[in-house]
Amino acid sequence: MTFVLKDNEKQYILNEKIGKGATCECYLGQKMNEETSKILAIKVFQEKYYQFYSNEISFLSKLNDNENIIRLISYGKGVLTPKINKENNNNNNPDNKIVYYQVLEYASNGELKDYVNGTSSRIPENISAKLFIRIVYAVKYLHENGIAHCDLKPENILLDNYFNPKINDFGFSQKFDGKHGDYLIHKSSGTPNYSSPDVRHAFTKGYNGIKNDIFSLGVLLFVITIGEFPFVTPTFSDEKYRFIIKRQFDRFWRFFNHIKISDEFKDLINKLISLNPATRLTTDEILKHPWLIKQLGLNYNEDNNYVINEVYDKELIEEFNSRKRWI
């Protein structure tokens, strides 16, 4: 069904539904009455989910200058109504709903999860490195701006026309300094498969949101490159993660002996999904890790930052285009 979204002078036509989450629905849309209006992604929140909507706005409105974070174009409160006729004289329709909405840039190649789950071949390490470094730079930018994402996973990484990643969904994000100024988060959030063991202590000791993001980056990189989860839950009862806890890394990696994995990749993963938050790498340390240096041939510039050789990456585009047939 096609909908019209009205907010005073702004009107949008909502066509195909392209996603549905726990708190919102996402549609392909366009501004009405504009012949050359570009395609937009429009997220619609019911009134009862205002807190999630508001939380996302509070962060996204400050993050519009990073190419690897989804760009917020507009937002507000409006009336969502089924489009019945050309005049759309439909103000008294009982199906009308008061909603909150976000207008976002449209990432035309969808969610990263569709390219890494259920495919018949693994993404080569040099290609996953091309994708991963862009995600790390975006997370580094978040952390430098005092924000912990708290729900990094393939479902929340969108891909644009050139398969550049765009971090999305800031509904669970938190300020780095914590609610009480103690640099800790006292609220359980995120997705269990990607969350660190620290989150279990949210309501007692609290946890460091940035260190939790680093753990999530480790699981994310593993899933992108290996095509499966490194463990079920990061607890001692998990048959795989227990060896991470005991720092018996060789025994952990035996579970994946059937896969050819570089030693540098193993070392990076070990240092990202460590039980102890204090021993996990920072984003700067990730960018200096031998795995990225080897896979991408990175060099420093005068500002001591790594330079990505190509923004339009032919190998990345070819690899992900070849995976579209599985979607």
How far apart, in whole angstroms, are the C-alpha atoms of residue 63 and residue 104? 12
Give the list of residues 6+ apart from residue 23 with CB closer than 8 angstroms, or none.
45, 49, 52, 53, 171
CA distance readout (Å), 19 to 80, 110, 303, 326: 17, 10, 40, 18
Q: Is-catalytic flag, 263?
A: no
CB 230 within 8 Å of CB 219: yes
Q: Is 311 exposed, middle or buried (0-12, 13-18, 19+ CB in 10 A)?
A: exposed
State the amino acid at position 55 in one-letter form. N
What is the per-residue DSSP string for 114-153? HHHSS-SSPPPHHHHHHHHHHHHHHHHHHHHTTEE-S--S
How far apart, in whole angstroms, are the C-alpha atoms of residue 25 and residue 41? 10
Name the active-site residue from 114, 151, 198, 313: 151
How far apart, in whole angstroms, are the C-alpha atoms of residue 188 and residue 219? 18
How far apart, in whole angstroms, are the C-alpha atoms of residue 313 and residue 269? 25
- Locate 236 and state its tokens: 């001692």
Q: Which residues are catalytic?
A: 151
